[in-house]
Structure 1
Amino acid sequence: MSDSRVSLRNVNYYNGQTGDHLGGVRQNGSITNANFFHMLMDILLVVDGIITISNRETGEQMPLNTNCLAEGDYNIFPSSGEIRSSEERYVRRVYSRRGRSRRDSYFRNAVRARDQRCVISGTVSPEADFDEWDGFEAAHVFPMERESLWWECGFDRFITRPGRHAMNSVQNGLLLEAGIHQRFDNFTVSVNPDDGYKITDFRGNLFHVDGRVLEFVCRNPANIDRVADGLLRWHFRQAVLANMRGAGEPIFEHDYPPGTDMMGEIMEGPFAAEQMELELFSRLRTVPSESEDSVY
């Protein structure tokens, strides 16, 4: 449901000219005043000039510093003209399933070999030396089910490692614990490469990762296989849009045990046709030929 992103919010922001509610966020401690300002200016709002942010209760103007954003309600005022929410496109995605092709196994193995741990929580697999990875999953930063958008936007430009299957490049991947993978895929956990690779949990900080820094092993600039900053930047923008704009975007159900009426549940939920299309693509990708797998 769309309100699943709203229920835990402890910060809300309003149009100071009209009083209209524009959105909000869950502050777990990692969001600074400066972070909040830049999220509003660079992603969430369309405004002439710059904005000022003031506490709705006290009227005190927020300083643009690295202090922790205080919980509460804020009015946003433009320096001139009007203010409105951005209409930037949000790209819905589903929790990615284990792939069926040999290409997917190459991706998984390359991500494991580079990262050796969950790069968001820092948890190291105690059985990695025995090639046992229970509880760890190779996650795509940009979702495979959105392939047409990948090519439409030219995101292959972020992949500097040569190969034919750019979306399945290790540079589009991170090794994550399974629960964190789910949250990464629904954009409730994300990484800002423009803020020292700081991790933000936009919900309840269940895995205690809010404020951590992405592990160096996956972003080492000396490694040609490092995760692409451009893709992390795209993911973070999507997370801000999903969690902070208006009432937030829906979080799709991902757990369909045997016997569940999956189609029925999807059709009763939000954006049913889109979710069904994404689920089918995620689950039913075809197996490529041997020749397709020969170059990666």
Structure 2
Amino acid sequence: MAIGGLKLNSSITEKVFLSMLDILIVASGPYRVTLRSTGVDLMRTDNALKPGHYDIRPYSRGSTIFITHEPCVTRILSRTTTGRDDFFRARVRERDGKCVITGTVNTEADVNQWRGFHAAHIFPLSSEEYWVQNGFSRWITNRMGDHDTGITSCQNGLLMLSSIHEKFDGFDFSVNPDDGYKIICFDRDPFKIGGSILDPICRDPSGEGAVRVELLRWHFRQAVLANMRGAGEPSFEMDSQR
């Protein structure tokens, strides 16, 4: 059983690694994960994950363990300039006003200058048919009429620096909403964002346009699937909404 594609960095703790395995592993019963060099089982702690080889074994004889075949949504090149995209971009900019990953504030927002900042879709716009077929619209609470799928709602968007957006679309990092909205990097961390927290400005529960936790959870799951099966799966999109 091959699990690969994850590059160890400071955002990967024992708890984070085990939560990734919860997504990857399909088991008929409980299993344990052991660092081969020490024989010590991993626990759901905030201790940094140590480099090395890890063995995954069931507790009971006869139990089965295998890697999920769940497909990963591949992101493809998507550049559109329709009216609904303009509305999406404006709402995300208005809500966030900064890169919600790095905290970098757009000091030129007052003159409507947003060069270097992108309104990024969490679920890719290029896969709208998949979005509709699987009922993702149910998570969007501010749709504009019955014919609005909700994919261009600001609840499916985050404002990011353009360089950070590329990393997000490539599943190089994601946000785990079930671990305090912690940013988890799956590759090297050149921007030093791993372990930091998604800015609260985009997820204020009292705000009608707050980002949906279900979509962040979906993106994190996709990032695990894309990065950790074998040598990782190809996934790429430049879903540019500047």
* TM-score normalised by L of structure 2: 0.92
Describe the SS at the equivalent of 2:69: coil
| Residue 76 (1) aligns with residue 60 (2) | no
| Residue 47 (1) aligns with residue 31 (2) | no
The one-letter code sitting in structure 2 at the alignment partner of 1:161 is N
Of 226, 233, 241, the residue aligned with 2:210 is 226
The one-letter code sitting in structure 1 at the alignment partner of 2:91 is A
Percent identical pairs in the alignment equals 48
**8 Å contact 2:116–2:162 — kept in the other structure?**
yes
Taking a change above 3 Å as real, the CA distance of residues 186 and 101 of structure 1, as seen in their structure-2 partners, is: same
Which residue in the other structure is 2:143 paired with? 162
Q: Which gives a bigger RCO, structure 1 or 2 (Cα 8 Å, sep 6+)?
A: 2
The one-letter code sitting in structure 1 at the alignment partner of 2:124 is P
Q: Tell me how far 1:194 sits from its aligned partner.
A: 0.8
Which residue in the other structure is 1:199 paired with? 183
Match runs of 1:1-296 below 5 Å: 20-41=1-22, 43-80=23-60, 81-97=63-79, 99-164=80-145, 165=148, 166-252=150-236
Distance 1:96 1:210 in 2: 27
Cα distance per residue 1:114-154 (max 9 Å; x no partner): 00000011111121111111100000010111111101110
Rg larger in 1 or in 2?
1
The unaligned stretches of length 5 or more in structure 2 are: none
Q: Tell me how far 1:24 sits from its aligned partner.
A: 4.9
Distance 1:197 1:63 in 2: 20
Which residue in the other structure is 1:278 paired with? none
**8 Å contact 2:92–2:154 — kept in the other structure?**
yes
Cα distance per residue 1:91-115 (max 9 Å; x no partner): 0003543x22111111001100000
Q: Tell me how far 1:182 sits from its aligned partner.
A: 0.8
Taking a change above 3 Å as real, the CA distance of residues 49 and 239 of structure 1, as seen in their structure-2 partners, is: same
**8 Å contact 2:121–2:158 — kept in the other structure?**
yes
Cα distance per residue 1:270-291 (max 9 Å; x no partner): xxxxxxxxxxxx79xxxxxxxx
Distance 1:224 1:143 in 2: 21
The one-letter code sitting in structure 2 at the alignment partner of 1:146 is S
Describe the SS at the equivalent of 1:108: helix
Describe the SS at the equivalent of 1:105: helix
Distance 1:69 1:151 in 2: 38
User: 4+ runs of 1 displaced by more than 6 Å?
Assistant: none
The one-letter code sitting in structure 1 at the alignment partner of 2:183 is I
Taking a change above 3 Å as real, the CA distance of residues 154 and 101 of structure 1, as seen in their structure-2 partners, is: same
The unaligned stretches of length 5 or more in structure 1 are: 1-19, 255-281, 284-296
Cα distance per residue 1:233-252 (max 9 Å; x no partner): 10000001111122201144
Distance 1:95 1:214 in 2: 25
